[in-house]
Amino acid sequence: MPSLIRPARLHFSPADGRIWLDDQRMLLIHSSALGVLRRELIESLGIDRARGLLTRMGYHAGSRDAQMARRVRRLIGLRLTTGGNRQPGAKV
């Protein structure tokens, strides 16, 4: 299966420090910084409310990723069915 993230879809703008994947602005952050955020949320909100917040955040991120993956698969499928480099017996 072709990769959904290709260099042509990923754009870095060093002048203003922005990263784009298609039309979505992305963040590059250290995993340790997310660990600190998690710890602070637990200390501030308690374990249950922090878990709820992080779960909703993860769900939202996964939903956006799924939308993007469906859009890209549709584009790849169109390209393959219009005579691109489709392999015999390949699934679309």
- pLDDT tens by residue, 36-52: 999 999 999 999 999 99
Q: Is residue 1 situated within a structural domain? A: no
User: 16: helix, coil or strand?
Assistant: coil
pLDDT of residue 3: 58
The pLDDT, as a whole number, for residue 4 is 56
The pLDDT score that the predictor gives to residue 55 is 98
Identify whether 44 is part of a domain: yes
Distance CA 17, CA 88 (A): 44
Quick check: is 88 in a domain?
no
The reply to whether 75 falls in a domain is: yes
Residue 33, in any domain of the structure:
yes
In this structure, is residue 32 part of a structural domain? yes
| Mean pLDDT across 85-92 | 52
The whole domain housing 69 covers 7-81
Domain membership of residue 90 (yes or no) is no
* Res. 80 pLDDT band, cuts 50 70 90: low
Q: What is the separation, in whole angstroms, between the first and last Cα of the chain?
A: 10
Q: Report yes or no: 51 and 63 within 8 Å, Cβ to Cβ.
A: no
Q: Quote the number of domains for the chain.
A: 1
